[in-house]
Chain A
Amino acid sequence: MQKVYIYKKFERFWHWTQAALIFFLALTGFEVHGSFSFLGYEQAVESHRVAAWMLLILIAFSIFWHFTTGEWRQYIPTFSKLQAQIRYYTVGIFKGEPHPTRKSVRKKLNPLQALTYLGFKLVMAPLLVITGIVYMFYRTIDANNMVIVSDIPLEIVAFLHTLGAYLIIMFAIVHVYMTTTGHTPTSNIRAMLTGYEDLEDDSEQPLKDENKKEE
């Protein structure tokens, strides 16, 4: 085992801010949806909108980060060990078998994770973001009598947005649970907090070279 710096500062900042914002957006969003009352409708709407803007800015930064660092390659799905990974979570984990894949700075995600997160980034997040933006600018008649978005029925926008919301909550539940399947139940979470994780020491490259390569 070797202590490896795996999650960089921005990545951790991005991850936790996004987590908090999504949690808050779910809370206020479902209050807007009428599922419960908590902050009060007016406050829920305002907060949802502010948090949505914060999330949009964060997403913009994270897209920039992913492309400039090349980290986006982490999400390219590989199918070679996908089946083994699925077998591990459904069978192997109960037998105390070892993880079929190895986590490293270059390969932080196992094939199943890569696929799921890709789905998150390409389906769930855009679904929420696009419908959310349409929702936000949904006006029938603006103050200046400018018709902006009114030909798409709000019903459909809200349906898709809410669908995305349910999916993301489901994702979050499973995601949080899956973090407990690391070496120890808390090792993954600790890594995302501190940046360091104990990984098997036969990682191909020492940390420093790795960073250089990425640049």
Chain B
Amino acid sequence: MKKVVFSIILASIGILILIHIAYDPPLPNLGELKLKQEYAIKPTSPVDHSLFEELQKDFNSPQEVTEACIECHNQRHKEVIASSHWNWERISYVEDRGIASMGKSNVLNNYCIGASSNEQSCAACHIGFGMTNDRFDFDNARNVDCMVCHDNSEEYRKGSAMAGYPDRSVNLTQVAQSVGRPQRMNCGACHFYSGGGNNVKHGDLEESLLSTTREVDVHMAANGMNMTCVDCHSAENHNIKGKLYSVSSSDENRLTCDHCHTSTPHMDRMLDLHTAKVACQTCHIPTYAKVNPTKMEWRWSEAGKLKDGQPYHVTDTASGAETYMSIKGSFRWEKDVKPEYYWFNGHATHYVLGDQVDSIPVQINRLLGSAADNRSKIYPVKVHRGDQIYDPETNMLIQPKLWAAEKGDSAYWKDFDWQLAAEAGMKRVGLPYSGNHEFVNTEMYWPVNHMVAPKEEALSCEECHSRDDSRLAGLNDFYMPGRDSHAGLDFIGRLLIIAAMAGVILHGLGRIVSAIRNKEIESEEINTNYNQ
């Protein structure tokens, strides 16, 4: 009787285990549902600015609009003046450098290289008016541009090469009356078109996000959560959450997915364990630049070719992207790009103007982190490679003067003379120039954070855990099951198995042969007996 009971219990346990293995009931992800509910309700403005008398007038200059804003919002300009959107730099502690102020005034990139000496043009993405050179007054609240971020009418536009002033056609009254929470286009006007065109720099931030589908970006999709940039990049006192490591360096005021999603968002323990070492983006952004191509390579060394003494450009007929421009050099674009992967702990170092070049390719920015560092996670990264102007004698990268209104002002884009451009640029930033220039290979690292794919499209295990073409093939400072193995052990192990098989087969054959032979002897003996 006991035995029967025991075997029934055992059988039931067995069946339960099998059911558990074979069938995973789809449990609702309550955390995710709650988030969806929370973000389904879109914020509405508590006031209608068009009703305010102060704004029902003709504004003669954009500064007058700012003054009108400050009349009511009488402390906000101080917050803006403290922000990095205004200062274009940030003071932080940087490993190996100490306390440093870094930003667009002293950090380079390998696209248009640097803003210094080109402010007139570059300041189209400064939230101020009149930054024409390095003597801009960062304390003058009148020059704060409230409209560029808060215009909800899509009327406001910065003028081209107007030092941050709006285009002359902008109807300031209309803009002033329709201010509100920043919309996608407010952020996108700069962050989509940085580097001189749509999606040039980031690869994951571009105009297709203005109206997109879940396949491209689950957060911003019109048929998805329809979120705006500031839903995640929220701000407290105009200090906006999130860091862009082309210029930022410290792990501070960062925005990460787990702010909303927690570090255990999956309904699966195995996956949740990955979040300690793998950033969400790594699996959930299988490719970036999903709609329009992004620049992957920029060779300044090829700039300056002229046709009949005139600059020209070449456009790729298939993609519509420019592959050559006399003023900038040659480009390589790519769409649907698989990221590269690096350890990253939220800290980065940069090449700062005046630094000695210590490696070639020069790493314009370097993401810090390693497998051994337990604050590091694996992140997807867009690596932008190229070459740019460099002084082999001082061993420094050069800040060239690129932009000027007219010829004869040393600007490369007008005069096509690197010598003059290097001299003028370096003089402006107060650094020596030997008179010699070369082009040196450079790399820039852009963590990829946007264009999160629907969960069905997240990477499968095999994308990384595989011997050949693992996405993490380049990260060799840790052991990863499925990708790594001890070659010697595998060799010996296989040898052991083959030896065992061979031994067994030989032994077996030996037995069969000897059995037959023994039988023959026996039967011979019988036969001889019979014959006798």
Contact = CB atoms under 8 A, between A and B. Distances in A.
Given A42-B461, A96-B515, A170-B497, A140 B486 contact: no
B428 to A, nearest CB: 47
B361 interface: no
A33 B482 contact: yes
Contacts of B501: 173
A50 B483 contact: no
Nearest to B521: A96
Interface string A154-192: 110011001101110110011001001100000000000
B267 interface: no
A32 B514 contact: no
Interface in B446-504: 460-462, 465-467, 478-479, 481-486, 489-490, 492-494, 496-497, 499-501, 503-504
A98 interface: no
B477 to A, nearest CB: 11
B132 interface: no
Nearest to B462: A41
Contact of A139 (B273, B467, B500): B273
Contacts of A95: 514, 518
B270 interface: yes
Given A34-B465, A50-B17, A154 B479 contact: yes
B462 A40 contact: yes
A94 B484 contact: no
Which of B484, B493, B510 has most A Cβ within 10 Å? B493
A163 B493 contact: yes
Contacts of A177: 504, 507-508
Interface residues of B, number: 45
A140 B374 contact: yes
B493 A166 contact: yes
Nearest to A153: B479
Given A40-B462, A54-B17, A93 B489 contact: no
B3 to A, nearest CB: 8
A46 interface: yes
A142 interface: yes
Contacts of A139: 273, 276
Contact of B264 (A50, A143, A165): A143
A140 B375 CA distance: 11
A141 interface: yes
Interface residues of A, number: 39
Contact of A159 (B276, B374, B462, B489): B489
Contacts of A33: 481-482, 485
Which of B21, B490, B494, B500 has most A Cβ within 10 Å? B500
Given A32-B482, A34-B466, A96-B518, A173 B497 contact: yes
Contacts of B467: 34
Given A34-B483, A96-B514, A141 B374 contact: yes
B313 to A, nearest CB: 47
A159 B504 contact: no
Given A140-B277, A155-B479, A170-B497, A163 B489 contact: yes
B486 A159 contact: yes
A140 B21 contact: no
Given A140-B277, A142-B276, A41 B460 contact: yes
A11 B490 CA distance: 34
B370 interface: no
A203 interface: no
Nearest to B263: A143
Nearest to A135: B481
B497 A169 contact: yes
B270 A45 contact: yes
B155 interface: no
B269 to A, nearest CB: 9
B295 to A, nearest CB: 34
A47 interface: yes
B64 interface: no
A208 B51 CA distance: 104
A194 interface: no
A101 interface: no
B272 A143 contact: yes
A37 interface: yes
Interface string A72-108: 0000000000000000010001111000000000000
Contacts of B499: 170
Contacts of B264: 143
B511 interface: yes
Contact of B504 (A50, A96, A174): A174
A96 B481 CA distance: 49
A60 B466 CA distance: 34
Nearest to A33: B485
A153 B480 CA distance: 11
A142 B274 CA distance: 9
B2 to A, nearest CB: 13
Interface in B114-161: none
B471 to A, nearest CB: 13
Which of A41, A46, A47 has most B Cβ within 10 Å? A41
Contacts of B511: 93-94, 181
Contacts of A162: 485-486, 489-490, 493
Given A41-B461, A158-B481, A143 B273 contact: yes
A170 B276 contact: no
A36 B394 CA distance: 54
Contacts of A155: 479, 484, 486
A30 B461 CA distance: 15
A41 B263 contact: no
B479 A94 contact: no
A75 B18 CA distance: 33
Contacts of A163: 489, 493
Interface in B292-310: none
Contacts of B510: 94
Given A34-B466, A42-B460, A47 B21 contact: yes
Given A41-B482, A140-B277, A170 B496 contact: yes
Task: In the A-B complex, list the 5 residue pairs whose CB atoms are closest, starting with the nearest.
Answer: A166-B493, A41-B461, A155-B479, A141-B276, A94-B514
Given A33-B485, A96-B518, 5 more contacts: A34-B467, A153-B479, A158-B485, A167-B496, A170-B496
Interface of B: 17, 20-21, 263-264, 270, 272-273, 275-277, 374, 460-462, 465-467, 478-479, 481-486, 489-490, 492-494, 496-497, 499-501, 503-504, 507-508, 510-511, 514-515, 518
5 contacts: A33-B481, A34-B481, A169-B497, A173-B497, A177-B507
